[in-house]
Each structure stands twice: as structure tokens, then as C-alpha cells.
Chains A and B, each alone.
Chain A
Amino acid sequence: MTALVSVRGVHRRFGSGPSTVHALRGVSFDVEAGSMVALVGRSGSGKTTLLNVVGGLDRPDEGSVVVDGDEVTGLGEDGLSRLRREKVSYVFQTFGLIPVLSAAENVGAPLRLARTPAADREKRVALLLELVGLSGHAAQRPGEMSGGQQQRVAIARALAASPRLLIADEPTGQLDAETGRSVMALLRAVVESEGVTALVSTHDPVMMALADRVIRISDGQVDA
């Protein structure tokens, strides 16, 4: 299989002088297309920094990141925006939905940005809401939904524009154990059904069990 994500010798430092924090120290790995990879490590190990660098939300000080053939570290702001619009999507720990828009409108947001025709957009939104089990909640606003339901909407939104890579940082961090497990199962299912590559940071052993591969990171380095 070909690698959708290729990370080579990535370093990321924060601050300067004696207070410099070396968050990533020469991280290198590949992620196969269509696979679900769990990124595991203790708090402060560098998981989130690595996800940010891979997704183009942060720039490494050294090294390179290639996503679906695009050298992420070489892209300008517009290039990164295009990358996020077309190839990479995110699921936040705190859902990140727009409060005044309904679930359906939140899911359709990436499609609006992609200028998808209204009819196609509505069809796709309905399909995704059905996929995440929220067909009956399309008109509800985030404030009217439970945490698990909101995260499902967030996953549906992340899948809306058919990204190549889905990045999720502790997607079950704000959910109870049972809801978290169902969300993880959903993620696994949609990765398979949509053919998406997923890079998920987690502490959850269930998630690790569901992943195709587990990358352990500690002190800014990938464990061998």
C-alpha cells in the first residue's frame, strides 16, 4: 500500500533560550492510505503538536510532512486553506460546532466552502447524518444535543467534503466511557465506509484496539 502521510525528521520547538521546549525531536513515520492510526502517549508527549504539524495547523522547525503528495511544510496560507478544504479535516475534542447553525447546516458547512450545489449538498448531509445515526436531529442546534451527539455531528462534518485524511485529537476526551466507545466505533466504521485515512490521538485502550496501527510517542520521539 502507498503512504498517504509521510513525516520525515520533524522537529518543533517552542520558546527560546533556556526555556525552550523541544516538543518534537526528529519524528518520522508513514501512514498508509485507508488505515486508521492511533497516536498514543502521555500528556505533554507531543501528540497534539504532531497532529497540528501533519494537518498544516502548525509549521515544523525542521523536517517535512507530505500529505497525499502535497508538501505541507512548503505551502503558503492559501495553499494550507485549500489543503484543509479538500484533503484534511479535523475532529476537535470540544466538537467545534457553530452554535447558531443546525446540525445539518454544521455538516454542510465544508460543502458550502467547496461550492457544492445545494441539492448535492443536502443529499450528502442527509447521508452523513444517517451514517452517524442522527437523521432525526438534522434541525437541532448543538446546544440542544448531548455531547455524544455533538461529536457525531462533528465527525459527519469532518467527512462532508470527502477528505483524504481525518485528524482527531482526543475525540472522546469530553465524553463518558460508553459514549466515547460508541463514537470510536463510529469513527472506525466511517473510516472503512468512506475510505478515509484517520490519525487519531487517544488514551483510550478501546480506540487502540480498533486502530490498524498504534504509534507511541514519548518525549517528542516516536518509540521504536
Chain B
Amino acid sequence: MRIAAITGLHGASIRGRARADAGPLLLSALVVVLVSLLAGAVPGLMERTADEAVRDGVRRGGDAAKVIVSARFEPDDTLNGRARVPRLAQALDDLRLRAVDELGTDLQRMFRPPVASVISPSLKVTDGSVLRTFRMAYLSGGAGPEVVWSAGSAPAASGDETAEIDWYGPPWLVQVGVSETAAKQFGVRPGALLKLADERGNTRSAQVSGIFRAVDPADPVWAEAPWLLNPAAGADGIGTTRFGGLLSAESLPDARLAFPPDELKRTVSFAPDPAVLTWATAQSLKATVVTLQARSASSSTYDTASTWNTGLDSVLDEVTAQVETARVQASVLLAAIVAGAVLVLLLAADLLVRRRSPALVLARQRGASLTALGLELLAESAVLALAAAGAGCAAAILTTGGVAAGWVAPVLVTAVAAVPAYGILTAAAATRDRRSPANRSARRWARHTAVLRRAAAEATVVLAAGAAIVALHQRGLGSGLPVLAPTLAVLAGAVLLVRLLPPLTGLALRWAVRSRRPLAVFGTAQASAASGRALPVAALVTSVALATFALVTAATVERGLAGGAQETVGADVRVDLTEDTAASADETARRIAAAPGVTGVLTGHVTDSAQIVVDGKLTPARLMIVDSRAYTGTALQPDQALVRSATGALREGMTVEILQTGKPAVRLTASGSAPAIGGSAEVVIVDVAAGLPDPPNTLWVTGPGAVQATDGLTVVSRAELARSRRAAPLVSGLIWLTWAAAAFLLVAGLLGFALTAAAGAPARWLTVSRLRTLGLTPRQGRLVAAGELLPAAAAAAAGGTALGALVAAVTTGPLGLRLLTGQVGDPATALPWAGLAAVAALFLVTAPLLVRAEAALRRRQRLAEVLRVGGPA
């Protein structure tokens, strides 16, 4: 009692009203719960997704993500030559320990155990016609590499442990071990002498001491030099096969003497452990490795200090760009969700206040202050909204461990304040003693003021939308206004549609009045009467348009993934020929072409990082030598090339010089634009007639049977690539959010429609009842009632979908979706026609369904009550 006296709140009234309007109140609470959960969960999910993306990026980064620490050995020169240093393995281990120490304890746990190695330069095997190369390697890390010697023994020192050699002495012999696979392919046995030469033709000598088998071929240590176990095709150029010789701690000093001074360096490799990396730790890791790189950047010729090198920062930069883009894209969708939720809450508040209007007006007439009425309504909505938001946030914390107060706040504020605000306005308007001015000009001024006020509000929305879209196109997707661009654009479009609807229904009514169909007149009259209500139409159009935007974005990403895969692969399947298969490329192409389901096979020569000079500058580019008519549809002249450049380095009209070893450069004119080809910033396509050496190393196969036809070859499948990119954490996360946003906004739209129908139902059915006293049958009455709902349904179905598609077309470019789809350029907007038609049909079908439901709810209401109550004219 005392509380009531102090606060002016009447508990029984609050409870009674809440019980009477349990439906709309629960619906509002449900919306708040859903938005709190969704908005709260998304940042948490994004964080998890970012963690996954970092792991995925590092995994995909492979060797580029490793941190490499290298250092020279101590000089071995003497007065007359060079001395054999027996403790090189110990020196290597020292470097490992030093690098671990420099890395620091915190960062060590982010890496797998380091692998120390000494790897020789590549040597040519000079005993055969096949292009074979050979490298020696000493590996040390963890417990490995453990091997079993199946023949012969481990490499030993070639001679005296402290021998000295002359500068110009004969090649120093090195003992190496060879894997069973390599020995079989190479055709060597223990004791065999390998004839080797460096790139300048200087002879090198190695002797096979034994044949080994790895105890654990999956030991990460082998990843530093996998060719030690299995010969690697193409590792030293097209058509080459690299073999490896394993050095031991005893033979490592010999290997150093076998090469010129400083050709063998000691290296420690840290491979990041994706399992322990997170988004947050990756940021500190990146900062540390950048610092270590910078600190070790300079070293003199005789410096034995360690040098740090890694592509990890670039890998993480790329992931960071993707994560940031995905975060902002998620924010775009969250803004849409919040806008849809706010509008539905406003509709629910409108319905509640309409239902309570008589009681509110009566209470006001009996002397209740507006403050007291507002406080009662506020108490009810605050309890409900806070409880709902709490439940939603708690669920979000339980599921994702996070909550986003910034996104929940607008929804919570609306849920708390909308009903009290509407209630106060309604009570005040009904009991306000404001008389119409006697002066006509004063009345006109009052009328114009109201019109101007609304026009100013609408102009503000339209201008804000325009500014947001301009900012999005000029600055790209970033925080702030650009994030709101799609939502503001949709709101602006909805405002324009709201303005258009009354004149359109007015025109329809004029037409209907001239028609001979009575139902057309009554239905259109109802439609015309209802079309003036701005909020329901704006809410429905906005929800449907934003749902459409989400659907179009999802479809654009899906189609973009397919397009990106097409750009990367260039056909249904791309076959990367190995040295074994390259020789028989034509035969392979013929065999594949003859396979069932193959519609086309094209051969070509692809060189990544080809040496190309443009404007006097060396510009590495992907060079593709193909049948230009078959590949691009454009038949190039021998002196022409097609170019594409992500950096702008290559442009049409430029002269492109392609450098060749031992031959004059080939000069071509960039005559056109090359098709988008993923995986390379600069692309040059020339015809086979250009005279460049073009031994085929790539086949492009098209047709439904392409995958089967290329079974057993090294292939990249377009479908498989698209699938793997779609499964990437960021992409799958964003697609999930896009679908969730579309579903939520559609449900919000349908709820909004139901609330709109419920708010107008009493007046609608009163009119229908009046018309029934003129002789309308119940069925005809339902049709007329449906007529009232038709403008909102039609505006949502046609206007909403068209508006959403238009906004998507205008904004999906700057959304940066190419970072997710793997395309060179922005993906073209994809319109999912079937989905859009289904959305439109859903709202058109909902109108008669709602009317049926309303009629069923009113089946006990007698027509006689019209005569008794009547209602306002």
C-alpha cells in the first residue's frame, strides 16, 4: 500500500492488464529472447569462427606459416684451405636452443617442437638422360628422425675427423643414406657412388652408405625434407624429380666440406600448432614474429647471428582481413535483425495500446496522471523485457560464452519504452483539450506543420541511407555508417513505399468504383482505408526486404564460391601433369577426351611467377600458354596477349616482355582483358602461336564425367574446391548467419503481419458485419476482410522483395564477399528467383489465412452485436 502510494503504481491493474494481454506480451518477450540470443551469440560464434579461421589459415599456409631461424656455421677456413669441423650437429643444436630461448616461453607453446636441419643446395644427377636432382639433408628434432637401416649402415665420416682440405682440392666425398623408395626408383645400392654436379657444373661426390626405412614416416621432422622419403616430382622445375640423401651427425661435416663455404646453413624451423592457436594468441604471435624478423634483418658476411624469416605474418594478415570482413558482414546482418525486431516490437506495442486504449482513456478521464499511467505500463514492460533479455543473454552465454550488449540494447530499449510511450500518447490525445483554431490559416498552418514534421523525418532516413551507401562505396565495409547501409537503404525504400501506397490504393478504389463487382468496391475501400497506416506497411516491407537481402547475400556467396572455384580451376577438373605424365600429355588428353561424360579437354602450359617486364619493371605473373580461342573464346594473334591485374600493373595496350633463359625476350601487346583467374594477382595469357616453349603441363577437362575420367591423376576438381572453401570456418559461419538472419526476418515479418491484422481486426470485422447487414454472405465478408490486408501483403511481397534485391545489388559489391568466395573480383549479385517467389507467395497466402483464422475466432460473435454496439462511422 505504501509502495503504491509512493510510486502511484496499482499492482492489481498491472497484473490484470498483463493477464488480459498475455498473447502480445509473450510475443514481445519471445522477440526479445530471440534477438538477445542471436545478437549475443553471434560475436561469440564469430570469435570461435575466428579461432577456427586462424587454425584453418595456418594449416592452409603450410610451409609459408613456418618460422625459420637460420644462421651460418662458424667459419672453417684455415691458412691453406678449410678444416673439417666435427661438431656441426652440436652447433646446429646450439642454434635450436638459442632460437627457442629467443622465442620466449609464451610463444613456444604455440609451435610444435622445432626441427633443426641443414639442407644442401640442389645438385644435378649427371648419370642419366632423365632430369633428376639430388639434395642432402641432416634433420634433428624431438626424438627423430628414427630410421631402420634395411641395407648397409648409417653414413659415417669419410675420413679423418679433423682433416684439412685445399681450396682447390678434389671434391670431398660424403656418405648419405637413401630411402627404400628412392633407392628402388633411383636404382642404387649401398656403396654406390652418385655422380652429381652443381648448377655451375662443378662435380660433387656422394656415396650411398645404406638404405633406410623411416620408423614413423608421419613424424613431423620428415616434413622439412619429405623428398628424403619419397622422390618429389617437379620440385626443381617441370620434368624434374628430386631425390634425397640423409646425412648423419658424422657425415654432416663432410657435407659442409663438399660444398663451397657458407652454402650449407643451419636452420631451425618452428611450425605453428593449429590446435593451440586462437584469434587472440595469433595477434600476439604475429607481433612477436614481426619484431624478431625486424631485429634480425641485418647481418654481415661473417656474422653467425640468427636470422628470422617467416610468412606467418602474411598468412595471419590474410586471415585477419578475412575475419575482419566477416565480422563486419555479420554486423551488417545483425543490424538488419535488430531493425526487424525493433519494428515488430513497435507493432506489438501498437496492438497492446489499441487493446488497452479504452481502459487507458477511462483511467485518464477519472483523474489518473499521465506519469502514473506511464509508470504502470513501464513497470510491466520493464519486468517483461528485462526478464526476456536476461534469458536470451543467459542462453547466449551458455551456448557461446559471450553476449553483445551493444546489439541487444536497441531491442531492449524498444521493448521497455514502446508501450509506455504509445500509452501516454494515446491517453493524452484522447483527453487533450485542444481545440481546432478558429482561424483558417492557423488550421492550415497546423496541418502543414504535421506534414512537414513527417516529411522531415522521412527525408532524414533517406539522406542517412544515401550517406551510408556513399560511405560504403567510397570507404568500403568498415565499422560505423557503412555497416548500416543495407538496413538504412531498406528503411528509406520502405518509407517511399509507405508514401506511394495510399495514392495507389486510391487509384485502385477509383477503378473499383467504376467496376460492376461489388466485392471489388468494398475490398478496395477497406484496402484504401488501411493503406494510410505507416508503421505496419513500413515494418512488413522492411522485414521482407531485409530477409530478401540476406537470401540474396547467401545466394551470392554460394554462387561466388562456384565462380571462385571456376576461376581457380578453369574447368570442371584441372590436371596438373607430373614429370611422369607430362611427356605423354597429348596421349593423356586423347584418353580423357574419349572417356564418357567428357565434353572437352584443353592442354596448356602454365608457369607461375613467370619473369615478365612491363614498363621496364620486372613483374612476376602467371603465364598461360594456351589455345586462346578454345580457352578464352578470343583468337589471339602471335604478338598479342590478354592480361588481368589485381594491382593494376598490367593494363590493356601495354607492351609485355616475357623473358626466356638463353633466348631473346618475346614482346607482346596486351590486346584485351583476360578472364578472371583465381590464385594469382597478375595473369598473362598468350596463344601457342606466340612461339614460347609450351610443353603441356596442365589439362583442363570439362563435362560431367571429368572427375571419373581423370581418376589417378593429380587433379583439382572445381566442385571439390568449392566444397572445401564452403566448409571453411568463416564462409560456413557467415552462410549460417545469413540463413539465420533471413529466417528470423521472415518470421519477424510474419509476426508483424499477424500483429497488424490483430490491431485492425476489431474495426475490420465491424465493417464486414455492417456490410453483411446489407446482404453480404460470410464468404464474401471474408473476401472483403482480406482486401484490407492485401495492400500490406502486396507491398511486402512485391515491394519488399524488389527492394531487398535492389539493395543487395547496390551493396553486395562493397561487402567484400570476394574474400570469402576466393574470386578475383567482387561476386556478381545472384538472385534466388525461386526463394524470392516463395517469400512473396508466403505473404500473399498469409493474408487469406489470417482472415480465416480471424473469422474462426469470431464465429461465436453474433452479427446482432453490430446493431447493439455499432462503433464509430
Q: Which A residues are closer than 8 A to B by beta carbons? A: 48-49, 51-52, 55, 57-58, 77-78, 81-82, 84-86, 89-90, 92-101, 105, 109-110, 112-115, 118, 142-143, 150, 157, 161, 167, 169
Contacts and interface: CB of A to CB of B under 8 A. Distances in A.
Contacts of A157: 774
B866 A92 contact: yes
B773 A109 contact: no
Interface stretch (B73-81, B277-285, B379-387, B522-530): B522-530
A51 B864 CA distance: 9
Interface string B751-782: 00000000000000001001111111110000
A96 B775 contact: no
Contact of A105 (B513, B773, B774, B872): B513
> Which of B767, B867, B870 has the most CB atoms of chain A within a 10 A radius of its CB?
B867
Contacts of A94: 869-873
Nearest to A83: B775
A105 B866 contact: no
B435 interface: no
Nearest to B528: A100
Contact of A84 (B509, B773, B862): B773
B521 interface: yes
B868 interface: yes
A17 B121 CA distance: 105
B863 interface: yes
Nearest to A168: B867
Given A109-B518, A113-B774, A115-B516, A58 B864 contact: yes
Q: Which 8 A-B pairs have the closest CB atoms?
A: A85-B775, A94-B870, A52-B864, A112-B518, A58-B864, A57-B864, A95-B873, A96-B770
Given A81-B775, A98-B767, A98-B770, A93 B870 contact: yes
Contacts of A97: 873
A11 B428 CA distance: 45
A48 B866 CA distance: 11
Given A85-B775, A113-B518, A98 B525 contact: yes
Contacts of B863: 57-58
A220 to B, nearest CB: 15
A203 to B, nearest CB: 15
A114 B522 CA distance: 14
A8 to B, nearest CB: 20
A109 B516 CA distance: 11
A57 B862 contact: yes
A152 B777 CA distance: 26
B789 to A, nearest CB: 15
A185 to B, nearest CB: 22
20 contacts: A48-B868, A52-B864, A55-B867, A78-B777, A81-B778, A84-B773, A84-B774, A95-B873, A96-B773, A98-B525, A100-B525, A100-B526, A101-B525, A105-B513, A109-B518, A109-B521, A113-B776, A118-B516, A161-B775, A167-B867
> Which of B522, B770, B871 has the most CB atoms of chain A within a 10 A radius of its CB?
B770
Interface string B837-873: 0000000000000000000000000111011111111
A82 B773 CA distance: 10
B864 A84 contact: no
A97 B871 CA distance: 10
Interface string B591-619: 00000000000000000000000000000
Contact of B775 (A48, A113, A142): A113
A92 B863 CA distance: 13
A153 to B, nearest CB: 9
Nearest to A154: B873
B521 A112 contact: yes
Contacts of A52: 862, 864, 867-868
Nearest to A48: B868
Nearest to A121: B516
A113 B870 CA distance: 21
Contacts of B518: 109, 112-113, 115
A96 B776 contact: no
A105 B521 contact: yes
Interface of B: 509, 513, 516, 518, 521-522, 525-526, 528-529, 767, 770-778, 862-864, 866-873
Contacts of A81: 772, 775-778
B775 A169 contact: no
Given A48-B868, A57-B862, A57-B863, A90 B521 contact: no
B782 to A, nearest CB: 12
Contacts of A118: 516
Given A52-B867, A169-B867, 19 more contacts: A52-B864, A57-B863, A57-B866, A58-B862, A58-B863, A58-B864, A77-B777, A81-B772, A81-B777, A85-B774, A92-B866, A94-B870, A98-B767, A98-B770, A100-B528, A101-B513, A101-B521, A109-B518, A161-B775
A110 B775 CA distance: 8
A162 to B, nearest CB: 13
B505 to A, nearest CB: 9
A51 B774 contact: no
Nearest to B868: A48
B767 to A, nearest CB: 7
A140 to B, nearest CB: 13
Contact of A77 (B509, B771, B778, B864): B778
Contacts of A114: 775
A162 B322 CA distance: 77
B794 to A, nearest CB: 18
Contacts of B521: 101, 105, 109, 112
Contacts of B872: 94
A82 B775 contact: yes
Contacts of A85: 774-775
Nearest to A201: B867
Contacts of B513: 101, 105
B864 A100 contact: no
A1 to B, nearest CB: 27
Contact of B867 (A51, A109, A112, A115): A51
Nearest to A98: B525
> Which of A78, A85, A92, A93 has the most CB atoms of chain B within a 10 A radius of its CB?
A92
Nearest to B863: A57
A48 B873 contact: no
Contacts of A113: 518, 774-776
B548 to A, nearest CB: 31
B775 A57 contact: no
A139 B513 CA distance: 13
A186 B509 CA distance: 32
Given A52-B864, A92-B870, A115-B516, A100 B778 contact: no
A109 to B, nearest CB: 6
A82 B516 CA distance: 19
A92 B864 CA distance: 11
B865 to A, nearest CB: 9
B867 A90 contact: yes
A98 B768 CA distance: 10
Contacts of A92: 770, 866-867, 870
A100 B527 CA distance: 10
Nearest to B767: A98
A89 B773 CA distance: 7
A150 B872 CA distance: 11
A90 B773 contact: yes
A84 B516 CA distance: 20
A109 B521 CA distance: 9
> Which of B518, B529, B864, B871 has the most CB atoms of chain A within a 10 A radius of its CB?
B864
B867 A84 contact: no
Nearest to A96: B770
Nearest to A58: B864
Nearest to B513: A105
Nearest to A93: B870
B516 A99 contact: no
B873 A57 contact: no
A167 B770 CA distance: 14
A77 B864 CA distance: 14
Nearest to B780: A81
Contacts of B773: 55, 57, 84, 89-90, 96
